[in-house]
Amino acid sequence: MFIQRSLLALGILGCTALAARGQNTMGYTEPEAHYRNGLEYFEKSNFVAARQEFGEYLKNQDKLLSTSDYNAVTAEYYIAVTGLYLNYPEAEVQVDRFVRSHAEHPKAQLIYSDLGTFYYEAGDYQKAIGYLEKAVQLTGNPAKRLESTYQLGMSYYNLQQYDQALTYLNQIKNETGFAHAADASFYAGVINYRNNRYQEAYDDFLRVENDPYYKNEAPNWIVSSLYQLKDFDRLLTYGERILAQQRGNSKLDDVALYVAEVYYEKGDYKGAVTAYERYKRMRPGTMPPTVALHFGHSQFRNENYKGAIDNLKNIAPGKDSVAQYASYLVGISYLKENNPKFALTAFDNAARLPFNAIVQEEAMYNHAKVQLETGSSNEAIKELNDYLSKYPNTKYEDEANQLIAEAYSGSSNNAGAIAYIENLKKRTPQINATYQRLTYNQGVADFNAERYEQAIENFNKSLKYPVADDLFIATTYYKAEAYSAQQKYDQAIPIYTQLSKNPNAAIFKRKSLYALGYAYYNQKKYSQALPYFKEFTQNTEGVDGQIIEDAYVRLADSYLAQKNYDLAIQTYEKVTVNGRVDKDYSYFQKGRAYVYMNRVLEARRQFELLISQFPGSRYVDDAMFQMADIDFQSDDFQKAVRSFTRLINEKPKSFLIPAALLRRAQSYYNIQVYEQAINDFKRILQEYPSSPSATSALEGIQESYNAVGRPEEFTQVLAIVRKNNPGNTKLDNVEFDNARNLFYAEKYPQAIRALLEYLEGYPQSQNQYDAKYFLGAAYEKTGEVQEALSYFSMVVQDNRSSYVAAAAQKSAELEIARGNFSNAVSSFKVLLRNAENKKEQTIAWIGLMDTYYALKSYDSTLHYAREVINVGNIVPGGIGKAQLYGGKVPYERGDYGKAMDEFRKIAAASKDEYGAEAKYWIAMIQFKEKKYPEAEATVFDLSKQFEGFDFWRVRSFILLADIYMGMNEKAQAQATLQSIIENSEDVEAVALAKVKLAEIDKK
């Protein structure tokens, strides 16, 4: 320390003087010893002892016969100084008195600077200033004054009194010979920079550019000053030169940054990218957010969207203005990279932040558009409406309205879209085109739901805006179909006729011929139906094979009704050879035609082919009856008995049992086996009293009793008949109708009470069987499942109700809901056995297909799936569901290759819920095989291609979170699940998303 060096020099002088005296005295005198001890204590910073020794020295000094006044003055100096160091109250007075008393003494010239240096080096800048201020006022050593001036300036600097500091630093910064001139210039530059005097700061820093100590720091300050002066050209020239030279300077990262920022501000984005990359090499690690924004924006402007994403995605999740703009750029970049889902997350953050209104609006609009693009139609509707509400004068108004209409359509809310467009004050041609399509789609939806009047209303709306010709023709056709479904053939036929003559109607021209045939066929006007079916079958290009097959069947039926048996047989033959769905029916009808032609051998052959090739056909019972009846009509009553017995034994639940019993009884009668005849007649009267065969049975049993000579027993039979047909049938029917009407009115508790009372009051009524069905159905509606199953079981066991098939179907559905799949299989088999038409048969097959899959009986699943596919689209969606099992079964068996092939076929061909599910399973297989990019793309395809099928869309997004975790994109996975939680109305899906999000948060 300076003061220590000075004191040491002083000590050396003192010792020299004492040594000189010691030559004459052979040792120290007592005062001299005090003086020497004082110097030693002072050197050791023992200021109390030193002060005491110097005091003793001065007490004895006047007794000595010497002229050592210099030592006495020096002792006074040390007493004053040690008093200051010890904070004695009188010390400052002693210092000032010393200066006045000994103005010419060297110590008087140095005391203030020495004290100032002591406190300066001790960091007590406030005390240092007090002494240094005095030191610089004294004349004396110029070098010492420069040092004091520097220390004074730095003391003010350290106390952040920059203006005062600058005053003193400016005085010495140009003193080239002064050791601290460079320091003064540097700190003067810092103060000038701080005070926005950038030119002065630039000059100060430039002055020390080559100083060994500051050469690494000065360039950063120089470019920073030039940047603030906006002297960009000089900055680039200087910065590039310095960076090119380097000169071993490892602290030029700020220079590199300023150069990059200047390129950016000048709009030289290519140069900026190069400069930012250099800066990144010089300062590894995380870039400051603003710098990262500029770097990313530069890459964005150079169309390097991947690079922009990499630099911006880490700052985009923030909550400041930098994050807002970064999020927006990331969103646009993700769109450019065909990654709309990631873009959603970025736009969402930008839209939530309020710092830049323009960016916020653009982000909000883009977020809604991407929602629509990715198939999130409901979310898009809400966001676009919010957008128009927040920005009513936006330049995107027309486009946003168009998008809202599209979003309604995509969410399967055609009615909402239609209402929205109808309420618009202005409509563009594009919106009118959308309106034409939406009203058509809604009309088709109403038609499929059998809301025919509403369908016609929507079709008429669509026809008012004939923007698209093909859609206009399709709408016209389905309008006629709606009339036809209501049996309003007078309105339907003129429309069909018009289309059938329109050369531009394409497929609808041919379909109209088919529809015209049916319009007349359903009115039993077979001669008028026949030419339309015939013309249709001559040109079936583009028509579904099932429709073609059906047209041939109806053409043959028309020939048969016209008694043109040869042409009927020829046409049925085409179906039996080439058909898929109606082969069994065609065999049966051919047999009937041969019967009418009295060609019984050919007829029998057709019936036998039907029974052997289609043992499960609903026409087997009829074929067996017809074969037995051929024997009966041929008077071969013995054979007839055997044939009818076969039918009765093999098909005990058949609706033909009463008729078969009657024919067998009549055959027994004709061969005089009267007791057997009586038994069959009696069975009809007891078990089937309300059947059409009962009247003939009553006559037959009377004749049989007469034939055996027991006419009196007929009286007993009459009693049975009366019991089964009580006289007050009117009241019976009234009460049953009342109970049933309560069910139809959805007053289920009241219906249950009324039906129970009815069954108790009319235990023998023929209505009891139907009453049990309605009772079971009412219990089902009130959630009393066990009671419902009990009554449905009674209906199936009795096999006397017209609702046996319906009871079996409901039993199966209830058993499935309870997880009793084995019981459900039994119920579906009852439904299959009692099916009266193809629809009920197909429903049974679908049920068996579903339940066997749940039971993991995959071979049986595939068997019934093939049956459903072969029968055609009898039940809407049946084929798609069956085809789906073609993929799900191999998936469960671990054969992902075969499963993938099947799912891809379904997804490509079916644009319904089964196509959506197939797409989901494709994504699942890709995920399991760790093909994450492919799986991600499949999820987005599903969302876009299957709008409105939210069940599978939302579950695909839950799967997407797993996919993102596989891609190490945790933030995207979290954002995806959070979006489901905030926006989905699917309670089950939200619960799944919450569980999965919690699991991810722990990772």
What is the predicted pLDDT for the residue at 165? 95
Task: Read off the DSSP letter of residue 797.
Answer: H
Tokens 């039906």 appear where? 755
Q: What CA–CA distance (Å, rounded) separates 967 from 959? A: 13
- Residue pointed to by tokens 């008949």: 721
How many distinct structural domains can be found in the chain?
2
Question: How far is residue 835 from each of residues 576, 613, 712, measured CA to CA in Å?
Answer: 22, 18, 42
Predicted pLDDT of residue 12: 29
Q: Classify residue 585: in a domain, yes or no.
A: no
Q: Per residue in 423-435, is it b (16+ CB within 10 Å) or e — as a string?
A: eeeebeeebeebb
Return the number of other C-beta atoms located less than 10 Å from residue 451's C-beta. Answer: 16
Q: Which residues contact 824 (CB under 8 A, 6 or more apart)?
A: 811, 812, 813, 815, 816, 847, 851
Residue 923 lies in a domain: yes
Amino acid at 284: P
Q: Pick from 895, 910, 960: which is nearest to 934 by CA? A: 960
Q: How far is CA 857 from CA 93, 759, 869, in A?
A: 112, 41, 19
Q: What is the rounded CA–CA span in Å between residue 771 and residue 802? A: 11
The confidence score (pLDDT) of residue 222 equals 95
Cα separation, 16 vs 23, in Å, equals: 11
Kindly tell me the sign of the dihedral angle through the C-alpha atoms of 792, 794, 799, 801.
negative
pTM: 0.57
Q: Which of 508, 523, 542 lies at the terminal end of a domain, its last residue?
A: 542
- With CA atoms as reference, report the closest residue to 58 among 94, 84, 110, 16: 94
Identify whether the C-beta of residue 939 lies closer than 8 Å to the C-beta of residue 960: yes
Residue 154, judged by CB atoms within 10 A of its CB (0-12, 13-18, 19+), counts as buried
**Distance (Å, whole) CA 717 – CA 712:** 10
Q: Give a yes or no: residue 928 inside a domain.
A: yes
Residue 930 domain-assigned? yes
Average pLDDT along the chain, 1003 residues, taken 10 residues at a time: 33 34 47 88 89 86 54 84 81 76 69 84 90 81 89 96 95 92 96 96 94 90 94 94 75 90 95 94 90 96 95 89 95 92 89 94 94 82 90 91 80 76 84 89 86 94 93 95 93 95 92 94 94 92 87 94 94 89 92 94 94 89 94 94 94 90 95 94 88 88 89 78 62 77 88 88 84 92 91 87 86 88 86 79 88 90 88 79 92 93 89 88 94 92 78 91 91 87 87 93 83
In terms of Cβ atoms closer than 10 Å to its own Cβ (0-12, 13-18, 19+), residue 957 is buried
- Token reading at 36: 């020497």
Q: What is the CA radius of gyration of the chain?
A: 53
Give domain status of residue 960, yes or no.
Answer: yes
Domain assignment of residue 537, yes or no: yes
The vertex-959 CA angle with 955 and 963, nearest 5°, equals 160
**Which spans in 319-376 are helix H?**
321-336, 340-352, 357-373
Q: How many CB atoms lie within 10 A of CB 749?
A: 11
Last residue of a domain, one of 511, 526, 542: 542
Contacts of residue 305, Cβ cutoff 8 Å, sequence gap at least 6: 299, 332, 333, 334, 336, 337
The token duo for 643 is 């044939």
Handedness of CA 370, 371, 376, 378 (dihedral sign): negative
Q: What is the pLDDT of residue 458?
A: 94
Determine the pLDDT at residue 716: 80
Q: Does residue 1002 fall inside a structural domain?
A: yes
Q: CB of 926 within 8 A of CB of 938?
A: yes
Tell me if 796 sits within 8 A of 814, measured CB to CB: no
CATH number of the domain within which 996 lies: 1.25.40.10
User: Which helix (DSSP H) or strand (DSSP E) does residue 967 occupy?
Assistant: none
**pLDDT score at 653:** 83
Out of 527, 542, 557, a domain closes at 542
The CA distances from residue 847 to 5, 325, 691, 788, 835, in Å, are 107, 56, 31, 19, 13
Instruction: Give the domain extent around 948.
Output: 894-1003
Nearest CA to 555 among 602, 521, 578? Answer: 521
- Amino acid 5 reads R
In a domain, 17, yes or no: no
